[in-house]
Amino acid sequence: MFRAAAGSTPQCQPTVAKPHPENESCGTAFSSAQPIAIAKVNNAVGALAAGAPTTTAQLATFFPGVPAATISGQLSSLLTQLGVMAGAGGTQCHNTCDGACARPGYMGGQGATAVMTLCPAFLHDFTLDDRVEMLMHEGMHASPGSPVVDQAYRSQRVIGSLTGPQAETNTDSYINLILRLQPGVSGPIPGGPPTDPQVGMTAAEGAAAERALGFIEKWVEVAEWDTSQLYEAIKGNIGRAGGWNPADQYHAETQHAIGWLLTLTDPGNVPPFLITPVRADQVKVAGIHDRYDRMNRAVASTPITMTKGAADAWAASLGASFVVMPDFFALSAMDQVLRLIRVMATSMADIPAALRSAYANAANQIRWHKGGIGP
């Protein structure tokens, strides 16, 4: 659970003997994966240069209308960044005393000064293939001029509907292409989106429901992450003299964006954010994050049965099915997404009916603030 992370246990407190308790040995988790990542990217660059019909077809699938030279340039930058990771100070390994290590790892900065932080899931749980893929993904984030927004992970439903320009700013579109351009690879690769069964829907209705579910999957994933980061930022800014730390401007903006919906202290709408958070904000954001986390885990990589029926409903306790009434399909694409999140919230006993719309609208605000994709 989120609230048990990031310095909340005694062993995470600095001591004279260990002033940085978040540090952990990297072992061979990084050194065994980084050369393979470089080899895979080189294979993809070579395939694009050769321009075989199968390569051209893959390029059109993942980057419709985008020239091969544009993609090759981005992959060349990725090769440079993978080299930066192996240099002095380019990679560090942390345990869960680092609150951001609720995830497998994260990238800080871009170019020669970027730092790749690897967390316990990467170090101890990931397969070699998982580690290789993550290094390529995070390397794309850090490459100057390359994508910085995860419009859609390759396991997420919405990745199949990206336009060429959207794919150019989507990190995992590049990872998909790299993996498909390896020698001997033909046909689907593991790790793609789930297939969602449809009941009582026409083809057009099924496509609309799938699209709405895809946006929800992305929005709650972003909301889970940004509220986890907001929680950490609030801890360091409660009662801070002079207002919010300028380094936490993004998180103050998040609090402003959702505070009017979920009754958080408004820091102001532009920097400097002089109104600091209070302890009650920290408690509320812990609960908000927990709800988005459960939503995220309910839909991520999980087949969801979608049914057209007599009454809107999501299976109890975020089960793997939902029902929408026929009038759902007459709504705009945006209203379909917002309504389906509200339907999702009905299955969560700790979200009062009066707050279902607030959680839907807050997820939209968070993805918009992050620059994420929408209908």
Residue 365 pLDDT greater than 50, yes or no = yes
What is the per-residue pLDDT across 296-345, written as a single tens digit (0 to 9) for each? Answer: 999 999 999 999 999 999 999 999 999 999 999 999 999 999 999 999 99
CB 338 within 8 A of CB 360: yes
Q: What is the mean pLDDT of the chain?
A: 93
CB 345 within 8 A of CB 360: yes
Q: What is the pLDDT of residue 16?
A: 64
Residue 19 pLDDT greater than 70, yes or no = yes
**pLDDT band at residue 13 under the 50/70/90 scheme:** confident
Average pLDDT over residues 79-101: 95
Residue 271, amino acid: P
Residue 187 pLDDT greater than 80, yes or no = no
Residue 149 DSSP code: B
Residue 371 pLDDT greater than 90, yes or no = no
In the chain, what percentage of residues exceed pLDDT 90?
A: 86
What are the structural domains, with CATH classification, of the chain?
2-180 (3.40.390.10), 198-370 (3.40.390)
Q: What is the pLDDT of residue 5?
A: 34
Distances (CA, A) of 317 to 287, 291, 301, 345: 16, 11, 17, 9
Q: What is the pLDDT of residue 8?
A: 37
CB 35 within 8 A of CB 128: no
Q: Could you give the count of Cα atoms lying within 13 Å of 207 in the half-sphere of its Cβ?
A: 5
Identify the CA nearest to 3 among candidates 227, 217, 259. 227
Q: What is the pLDDT of residue 15?
A: 67
The CA-based angle 40-169-361, given to 5 degrees, is: 130
Residue 4 pLDDT greater than 80, yes or no = no
Distances (CA, A) of 110 to 80, 102, 141, 276, 370: 11, 22, 7, 30, 18
Residue 47 pLDDT greater than 60, yes or no = yes
Residue 248 pLDDT greater than 70, yes or no = yes
Lowest mean pLDDT among 4-8, 65-69, 188-192: 4-8
What is the per-residue pLDDT across 128-174, written as a single tens digit (0 to 9) for each? Answer: 999 999 999 999 999 988 777 788 999 999 998 899 999 999 999 99
What is the per-residue pLDDT across 257-310, written as a single tens digit (0 to 9) for each? Answer: 999 999 999 999 999 999 999 999 999 999 999 999 999 999 999 999 999 999
Residue 7 pLDDT greater than 50, yes or no = no
